[in-house]
Chains A and B, each alone.
Chain A
């Protein structure tokens, strides 16, 4: 099996997956055709069981390139249509309105506004309508009008920022938020919007600063909390994501989307057992969430619990038979389980089904090829070499595929062809090795007293006395004679003293 943790999952895709569960208008956020794209949030997206594997990114949310939207419709604080509510039962949202219904409603809104163009509430309601329908551009003139009508109200500007963010007009969004900030800088909706604006631009550091500040000011705000938890996943801080999301679960224990996001955080934090428990809650709350069944199966396969994995995967397939990854993962559960001689043929059938559904399912192609090379009949090797070549056509730089193809061709007696792939494998391997080494080196340092002293000073400079004290102590542990460290630690005074008492190895 290829390495499992979800390094290939795109950050934006992950972000949007969570945004969707927040119950945003984001499903249709980039659409201007008057139709909300989805009524079921993330549950309707064809997200593969392999969403956390090295399989191709299957997070293919409509509007995947759209910025992460705010959660509330303007001025109301309510969730937009098609959302999964943060609290409540977590049941399915009402169905999307038809095109005709939307057209009729649009006409009615415009007529009402024409009758009372200077009414603040009418303008805000009109904007709300359009944003819920995903027609953000049409909301903008109403929000601008509302802002002019009530210059001391922050909500029109916040909503205007949200609408511009959804449209990808980031400068305009920032200006709108700045206007709101002058009126009420600590408004939770504003902070959330500012965070989403930074996220949409992939300014993760800035987004983190905004959302962390927001959560400090509004620890009860679930949407800021969830957005921040999700951001931690994006920036590969799964432990922080877990810590941030757990209180949200306490507040909204029956929200399947939250449990699903927490499962994602656990999985990335290498806590597969905890992830499975969360997904069990998801499937109990909403047995139709095929993605949760699929992920449960995937994690069980990763834990080498092959027979256990089959039931959830079969359920996922039952709910969403068109998802190639479910079939591929179910195939894995048979291929890797040699308790029955029939398992190999079962796996073959499932891989073929997976590839029929998605001929570019890399994981299925690779696993199927691996299985064939393991059985190793001449016809298996021939078929495997074909599958491996298909993989190379998709990604010529896949060193593992070059390696496997070289070995397979060698076994087929095609020594010269094998040598070419072996050579390419070596080139790619050396390149990867250098990159890994550089990456690791960047993330570590020589554990000397001087290094810790330097870190202590950096923490002190940033005003973080506790971390500075910790580093000073580490410096003194490495070199008790380092007088500068001792003096500076003492100068930290009250902050350092209590922690000193607890310093133990």
Chain B
């Protein structure tokens, strides 16, 4: 355990100032709410009205079915201009041999408020043009604005946010241009030095000149699975604090693992005060890199019970997220998997995990879907984290040899009943409307109304923006955390909020799901509770703060 340093209790005056600054709702006595969730409005597709439909993802396909095509891309929700509204970034693929269409380009959309977005890609200088897979947003240089790391087929890219609405490609200077076929990346501070380090989950060792031919139907080429290639070597970069990074993959022990890396998250699963790393691997055992201290990591996935699914199969891990869904104080994990494999829900039993997906009632409903993006979110603000899955098969010809699994698939939402089990709420909430070949999904409160929204990257074509319009939901509290080191968000902090005698935990992270980044602000549904009796923050440096807020149903800013 890191030493607990002096606790800092913030006064109401400080909070009030922060509230005013962030332009949130004026305080008023919270009204009683109907805690019986109603779904008249549900999630609404606001892609067109918002202007996010101006992005169209390109996969560079020409029928040759190069292996990276099936990976799709992710997206990011982050506030690039610090105006209090979360913006949206989409990754696009690009040209591959034989492709004749328009070149792909990533897009940054500035949230203008009022539900509309403007394309600021060119002004911001983040179009990239490479074959982009994932986006990991975080403030790596602690200058108060959020930077962007892109995973690519080809060398990865680091864009430094210049703080004036523009970004600068600093990949070479930062020495983070990992050339491997990367899927997801995530920022986390493993050594507590106040600077975010970077884990890059690489998929397979791939050379387009040696792309393999697989055929599932009548001599036609199909996409190959990852096991036909050697698994990717993953990379851990240590942030030197001077704008440059050092590749410590070998010295840290990370290079000892070989897995088809897809999703990655940082978490302190054993609450020892050090950030660990979980990697969802595709058809190879997952990694759980335990942070041993001293810059060393050991894969404890096998002994922790998280390397495999419930039955001991190395499943096709895709996306991942962390959340304490049963409010027992320990972070649990959700991992999306292939069709005919249920998604996994790894319940944390004190450092040991057990896949309780089937027992929770969620697993069986996911068997026919191939999940990618995923996230814990309390969409109905009842104080229990629900589960969202963005689905889509990898095989674009699956329907030629299956009549029960489709390429395009509906999204799914499972409502947490509060007793450790889930109900499929996909239909009543409207998230299952329409089928898409979804990949990354990002979660965030795009209109600051305390209801988490969802943005989904689609394989070929326009994205999907699901605006949360569920009505008569519970009270809520959102937090913006300002650490002392000046970083834009307190990645690695843990927050406990107590209301009505119940305590919820959130671990602050931005990068999760599949190749995506989420709104880093912890958002708590409070159900019928009309006041919060305590907020406790454990900052990334181990210090703690305790706050008693006077208001709810708004975003509070807490400064270390």
Contact = CB atoms under 8 A, between A and B. Distances in A.
Interface of A: 2-4, 239, 269-274, 303-304, 306, 336-338, 370, 374-376, 399-400, 402-404, 407, 410-411, 422, 425-426, 429, 433, 436-437, 440-441, 443-448, 451, 467, 470, 477, 505
Contacts of B227: 433, 436-437, 440
Interface in B362-419: 364-365, 367-368, 401-405
A2 to B, nearest CB: 7
B352 interface: yes
B204 to A, nearest CB: 12
B352 A410 contact: yes
Contact of B358 (A303, A374, A505): A374
* Majority-rule SS of B interface residues: loop
Nearest to A441: B228
Contacts of B12: none
Given A270-B405, A338-B421, A407 B213 contact: no
6 contacts: A2-B311, A270-B401, A271-B404, A429-B314, A444-B224, A446-B213
Contact of A426 (B213, B302, B311, B364): B302
Given A303-B404, A403-B308, A448 B209 contact: yes
Contacts of B224: 444
Contacts of A441: 228
Contacts of B213: 444-447, 451
Contacts of A304: 364-365, 367-368
Contacts of A4: 340
Given A437-B227, A445-B213, A303 B368 contact: yes
Interface in B295-324: 302-303, 305, 308, 310-314
B405 A447 contact: no
Nearest to B308: A403
Contacts of B221: 447
A403 B212 contact: no
Contacts, number: 104
A407 B365 CA distance: 24
B235 to A, nearest CB: 24
B423 to A, nearest CB: 9
B403 A399 contact: no
Contacts of A477: 64, 98
Contact of A271 (B63, B308, B358, B403): B403
A374 B217 CA distance: 38
Given A370-B311, A429-B312, A444-B224, A505 B211 contact: no
A448 B97 CA distance: 13
Interface string B54-81: 0000000011100000000000000000
B192 interface: no
A441 B364 CA distance: 32
Contacts of B9: none
* Majority-rule SS of A interface residues: helix
A68 B368 CA distance: 37
B359 interface: yes
B368 A271 contact: no
Contact of B364 (A336, A376, A403): A336
Interface of B: 62-64, 98, 209-215, 217-219, 221, 224-225, 227-228, 284, 302-303, 305, 308, 310-314, 340, 352, 354, 356, 358-359, 361, 364-365, 367-368, 401-405, 421
B359 A375 contact: yes
A322 to B, nearest CB: 29
Contact of B404 (A273, A336, A410, A444): A273
B402 A425 contact: no
B441 to A, nearest CB: 22
A447 B64 contact: yes
Contact of B401 (A239, A303, A422, A433): A239
B359 A374 contact: yes
A403 B312 contact: yes
B314 A270 contact: no
Nearest to A399: B312
Given A271-B401, A426-B302, A433-B314, 19 more contacts: A4-B340, A239-B217, A269-B401, A269-B402, A270-B402, A274-B403, A303-B368, A374-B356, A375-B359, A403-B311, A404-B312, A407-B305, A410-B305, A429-B314, A433-B227, A436-B227, A440-B228, A444-B228, A447-B211
B221 to A, nearest CB: 7
* Most-contacted residue by chain B among A4, A437, A447 (CB, 10 A): A447
B212 A445 contact: yes
A470 B221 CA distance: 12
Nearest to A376: B359
A3 B368 contact: no
Contacts of B62: 505
Contacts of B356: 374
A446 B312 contact: no
Contacts of B358: 336, 370, 374
B59 to A, nearest CB: 14
A480 B160 CA distance: 42
Given A404-B312, A505-B63, A272 B214 contact: no
A262 B405 CA distance: 20
A4 B405 CA distance: 14
A209 B451 CA distance: 65
A445 B211 CA distance: 9
A341 to B, nearest CB: 10
A269 B368 CA distance: 16
Contacts of B215: 444
A184 to B, nearest CB: 35
A404 B368 contact: no
B302 A270 contact: no
Contacts of B211: 446-447
Contact of B402 (A271, A447, A470): A271
B311 A400 contact: yes
A255 to B, nearest CB: 23
A270 B403 contact: yes
Contacts of A437: 227-228
B302 A404 contact: no
Contacts of B219: 467, 470
A351 B384 CA distance: 34
Nearest to B312: A403
B311 A505 contact: no
B403 A446 contact: no
B212 A444 contact: yes
A304 B363 CA distance: 10
Contacts of B313: 400
